[in-house]
Amino acid sequence: MFIENALRYDARVHVLDPDPDCPCAAIAERYVRGSFADRDTVLDFVREADVVGIEIEHVSVEALEQARAMGKRVIPDPAVLRTIQDKGAQKLFYQEKGIPTAPFTLVEDRATLLASPPPLPAFLKARTGGYDGRGVLPLRGSQDLERAFDGPGVVEHHVDIALELAVLVVRDDAGNTMSYDPVEMVFDPRYNLVDHLRAPARVDAATARQARQLAEQVAGAFAATGLYAVELFLTRDGQLLVNETAPRAHNSGHHTIEACASSQFDQLLRLYLGLPIGDGRLRAHAAMVNLVGEGGRGEPVLNGLSDIVHVPGAFVHLYGKRETRDGRKMGHVTLLAGDHLALDQGIAVTRLHGRVVPAAMNSTPTPTQA
Ligand SMILES: Nc1ncnc2c1ncn2[C@@H]1O[C@H](COP(=O)(O)OP(=O)(O)OP(=O)(O)O)[C@@H](O)[C@H]1O
Ligand SMILES: [Mg+2]
């Protein structure tokens, strides 16, 4: 998605990824196979680059620091990434900066956790390496403590969530800051993964304004050029808490491709090139429905494609991943509509018919097969 937009500017994008079948390999100017967690591999890869960015947090920060020392423009700031890579450090950062976040404690390992169990329900989160709900264990009762992983973790009090929101913030070199309309995220309890989101979020104007202010405060606290996706909890008693921040393009901003003049990917490119921040106003009510793999592993096929493309204002994005797996994000559908009601209908059709399954389970041919 980043490359699709970058091509319009004649920007040349090089990609480093361990998987030669990764979707971007087919459309990048240059693809290099390798681990982005390996310092030397990253340094070797960025030698020719003017600007270095990331798509995932689990990269060698040391390499990015060195790339910056070599004079490269590196976004996000490696120092920000270092804080964000560690959920414990991230929570301490919010605390230090006076940013409201769920109460927490840090645990060294499983033994420490079991020695003095927290009040339940709670959430146990791996300090490093988690992604898309992996590394997050809800502790509903004492029986869940048995399943706790071993290693450094954050134990968070269970928050009584009314709504999960996300706000994308863009911050340029001069410190100019722009936030997008808050989006409302609806989770799939099976995978602890976003099922769909809608923008604008169905909250009152004061809450929307506070959410944007809080997200801008987070970007201000990081005090560095970048794109920040700030995940928020709106509690049942009306409080806004910061859950976590991703210093990169994020699933909660995919709708901006069609719903705004300047998408999150466009903003990122503008930051990379030192161009002014773009227009992020919503042009319509928008929803983004994740297409998540189900029915096991295999070559992916999207069932229900003809039903989805029938919906006015539907935009299908299939990522071109070669293998579908349960819970793997395989694509998404963006829906634009004039109001929330029309949006509801599009979401319902997409969720009812849209299924990414292994080819063997498929009943109708799709472009992926052709
Ligand atoms: N303290 C909490 N109280 C209630 N629910 C929580 C709490 N912490 C996390 N959750 C739930 O678990 C989800 C995943 O948690 P979190 O965002 O920390 O994990 P993650 O693995 O980084 O997820 P992702 O990469 O998908 O953003 C949250 O979006 C929320 O639904
Ligand atoms: Mg999250």
DSSP 282-303: BSSEEEEEEEEB-SSSBSEEEE
List where CATH 3.30.470.20 sits in the chain: 161-361
Q: Is the CB of 187 under 6 A from ligand 1?
A: yes
CATH tag for 103-157 (out of 3.10.20.600, 3.30.1490.20, 1.10.10.10, 3.90.950.20): 3.30.1490.20
Write down the pTM of the prediction. Answer: 0.94
pLDDT digits (tens, 9 = 90+) for 115-157: 999 999 999 999 998 766 679 999 999 999 999 999 999 999 9
The closest residue, in CA terms, to atom 14 on ligand 1 is 133
**Number of alpha carbons in the 13 Å side-chain half-sphere of residue 55:** 13
CA of 136 from ligand 1 middle (Å) equals 7
Q: What span, in angstroms and rounded, lies between the C-alpha atoms of 306 and 285? A: 23
pLDDT at 29: 97
Flag whether pLDDT at 302 surpasses 80: yes
The tokens describing 225, both together, are: 């050029």
Mean of the per-residue pLDDT values of the chain: 95
Q: Which residues of the chain form CATH 3.30.1490.20?
A: 103-157
Write the residue with the smallest CA distance to atom 1 of ligand 1: 158
- What would the pLDDT profile of 318-329 be if each residue is shown by its tens digit? 999 999 999 999
The CATH fold of domain 2-74: Rossmann fold (3.40.50)
Q: Render pLDDT for 238-255 as a digit per residue (tens, 0 to 9).
A: 999 999 999 999 999 999
Judging by beta carbons within 10 Å of its beta carbon (0-12, 13-18, 19+), is residue 106 exposed, middle or buried?
middle
Kindly report the CA angle at 335 between 329 and 338, in degrees rounded to 5? Answer: 160
Query: Residue 370: its pLDDT value, please?
Result: 42
Q: Ligand 2 mean position to 243 CA, how many Å?
A: 7
Q: Which of 168, 190, 233 is the best mutation target for the ligand 1 pocket, counting ligand atoms within 8 Å of the beta carbon and taking the most? A: 233
Q: Of 318, 322, 316, 314, whose CA–CA distance to 345 is shortest?
A: 314
Q: Give CATH for domain 161-361.
A: 3.30.470.20
